Amino acid sequence: MARRRILTDEERRYLVAHYPEQNVIELGAHLRCGGSLVSRTLREMGISVRPRVRPLRILTDEERRYLAVHYPEQGVIALGAHFRCSPGLVSHTLREMGIPVRRPGGTPKLAPAKRAAILAAWREGKAANAINAELGTSNATVKSVLADAGIPWENRLRRGPESPGWKNGRHYYGPDINGRYVAVWVGRDDPMWSMANRGGTVPEHRLVMARSLGRPLERHETVHHLNGRRDDNRLDNLQLRIGRHGKGVAMRCVECGSHNVEAVHI
């Protein structure tokens, strides 16, 4: 283990003679040691060491004019990133200019033009996510602007055929092993709506079986693909079972062979 260096008596006398006229970094460079050793030695000698203060950068007149134009629409963090300085320097400069700085986490004060653009887009029928993508806002900002204007908030997230991502109501999911499962969108007025998930979709193999039976499937009922292809949802390839696949029990009428059966709760 390396021994910690100790300053000699002569070096200590040099410290006493030149501190604090020279700071610990300059003294360390002269004595060929680190600033931390200088600070520790000074404290051992009973000399208080002032905290190191980094020189404060001063924003130029052009940068100050930029601040006056874009604050508070842009926050101190965004402005600091723009000037490549700390947010603290931005706040310090704003206060020097007599501009009040909002507390951290406060809601930015929107420019009248952006507020008007949000209201115009909302009255055109655009959803909040579309407004955010277009104007760089957030749901909280849109709600605040609407509340100030006395306009009630409504969820304009469109589902089903009206959704921008509509793909004929079908999409694939699950691992691509023996084909992927197919999900189909159903409307609220569909008799099989009770089988849908929160997104309004039902696995197609379950939906095909349910429509052939004329009723929604029970939770304990499963549908097996006879040929193992998960995307082959022809009724002839499907088999109604109870429980998990593999050794599950197929539900079929022993007299006629029909799958049109239902569970009876006793």
Model pLDDT for residues 60-115, shown as the tens digit of each residue: 899 999 888 888 777 787 788 788 887 888 888 888 888 888 765 545 567 888 88
Q: Please count the residues of the chain.
A: 266
The pLDDT assigned to 109 comes to 65
Q: Count Cα atoms within 13 angstroms, Cβ side, for 208.
A: 20
**DSSP-based three-state secondary structure for 80:** helix
Tens digit of pLDDT for each residue in 120-168? 998 888 888 888 888 878 888 888 888 888 888 887 665 555 555 555 6
pLDDT band with cut points at 50, 70 and 90 for residue 248: very low
Phi then psi for residue 181, to 5 deg, are -65, 155
The pLDDT assigned to 184 comes to 87
Q: With beta carbons less than 8 A apart as the criterion, state whether 118 and 135 touch.
A: yes
**DSSP-based three-state secondary structure for 173:** strand
Greater pLDDT, 41 or 80: 41
**DSSP-based three-state secondary structure for 241:** strand
Percent with pLDDT over 90 in the chain: 13
Token reading at 258: 């029909």
Token reading at 8: 């000699």
- Provide the 8-state DSSP code for 193: G
pLDDT band with cut points at 50, 70 and 90 for residue 195: very high
In this structure, which long-range contacts are made by residues 182-191, counting pairs with CB atoms below 8 Å and at least 24 apart in sequence? 182/230, 182/231, 182/233, 185/159, 185/160, 187/160, 191/215, 191/216
